[in-house]
Amino acid sequence: MKTWHEYYKDQNKVEILIKYSIKLPSRVDNFNVDDHPLHIRQDGGEIHINLHKKISQTLLNDIRNFFGAFLNGKELQEELVQKNPSRYVVGYISETLPRINKEILERKYKEGHVLLRNISQFDIYNVFIVDDKKEYHAILWPLPIPGFPEVNKFPNRLDVIFVRDLIDAMTEYFYFNLDECVRKVITSLENYFIYYNLKAPTNKGFWSKLLGIRKSKFKKLVNEYVTEKFYGFKDRDLKILRDNILFVYQIRNLIVHDKLRLKLDNLMFCKKAIGTLLYIYQSKFVYEDGKKDYIFAFDMQFKMIADMIIGLNLDHFEKAEKSTKQPEIINNSDELNRSIFASLKITDKQKNLARN
C-alpha cells in the first residue's frame, strides 16, 4: 500500500470517472447539471452523479487490489483495511456535496417540495470508479459508523438539555443544515447558562447608565462567565472563545430575525462554532458537575465521524505540501494552547463569508 504522500508524488496520472447515486424523496422537474467535471442526471426519484477526476496510477492500482480481494472473497490484509484507498475517493465526493445541496434547495423552494432536504455522505450509495480501461471498481461506501461505547458509560443524569442541543448542532453540521447548526449552538449555550443558574450582572457603571449603554443579556453572560475565574486557560485564549461565540450569536440573530441564510461553503465556520462551544464546556461548572468526560466523549465522536465522512482529499494535501509556510515549533503547553486557540479563531474572511 502507498501512503497519501506517495499517491500524489506519483506523476503518472490517469483519468477516472467517479459514479454514485442519491435517492430523493420527491421527484423534481429537472435535475440535470452539466458543469464539467461534475455531471448530474435525473432518473425518476434518483439522481446519478459522474465526477471526472485525475488520480495517480498507484492509487488506482490499490483501489483495484482492494476491490479485487473483496470481489473474489479473499481475506483482506490488515494493512489494506487500515489504509483503505476508498477514502480518497470519498474525499473527492465530499467536495461535490455543497453544489448538489445548493441545487436541491433551489428546487425545494421554487417547486415547493416539502420533503426535499439536504443530503450528506450518508445518503450516497452505489459508489464506483470507472478506470481508463472502462472497468468498474466498487468503493466500499457508505461505511457503517461504529457504536461509541464511551457515551454508554455515563449515568442518565448527564443527559441534559444543553448537551442535547450540542449533539443536535453536530447532527445538523453533518447534514449541511448550517442555519440550524448555528441556532443549536446558541440555544445550547443559553440552556447551559440556565442549567447552572448563571445570572447576568447588573449594569452598575456610571457612564453606562448616564449614556444609556445597554448590553444584551447573552453578551453579559459570556463576558462574565467565559473568564479566567472559571477556566484553566489564559484570558488570551478565552478572548478568542468570547469573540467567536458572540459573532456566532450575531449570525444566529441575523438568521432568526433577518433574511440571512448561510451558504453551504460556511462549513468551517460552523465547525469552529461547535469547537468553540466544546471549549466553553470545559468550565469549572462542568468539571464540578461531573459532566466533563461525558461531553468530551461527544467531542471525540464528532471528530471521528468528521474525519471518516469527509475522507482524504489528495488535492488538499498537495497544496499543503507546496505551501511555503514554515511549520510552527511548539516548546511547551502554553505555546500549544496558543496555537490551538489561534486555529480555532473565526477569521475575518470566514466572518465576511458568513455575513454574505
| Distance set, CA 15 to CA 41, 55, 93, 265 (Å) | 21, 6, 15, 27
Candidates 226, 263, 244; CA nearest to 353 is 263
Candidates 301, 295, 275, 282; CA nearest to 158 is 295
Domain coordinates in residue numbering, the chain: 4-138, 149-312+324-355
**How big is the chain, counted in residues?**
356
Query: Please, which pLDDT band fits residue 10 given cuts at 50, 70 and 90?
Result: confident
Strand, helix or coil for residue 336: helix
**pLDDT confidence of residue 346:** 97
**pLDDT confidence of residue 100:** 93
Give the separation between CA 214 and CA 50, rounded to whole angstroms.
55
Does residue 7 contact residue 314 with C-beta atoms inside 8 Å? yes
**pLDDT confidence of residue 144:** 66
Cis peptide before 142 (omega within 30 of 0): yes
Report whether pLDDT(324) > 80.
no
Report the Cα 68 to chain-centroid distance in Å.
Answer: 32
Query: Around Cβ 283, how many Cβ atoms within 10 Å?
Result: 22
Report the Cα 98 to chain-centroid distance in Å.
Answer: 12
Higher pLDDT, 352 or 141: 352
The model's pLDDT over 28-82, given as tens digits with 9 standing for 90+, comes to 888 899 999 999 999 988 999 999 999 989 888 888 887 776 676 777 666 666 6
**pLDDT confidence of residue 280:** 98
DSSP code of residue 142 = S
Q: Which residues pair with 56 in a beta bridge?
A: 13
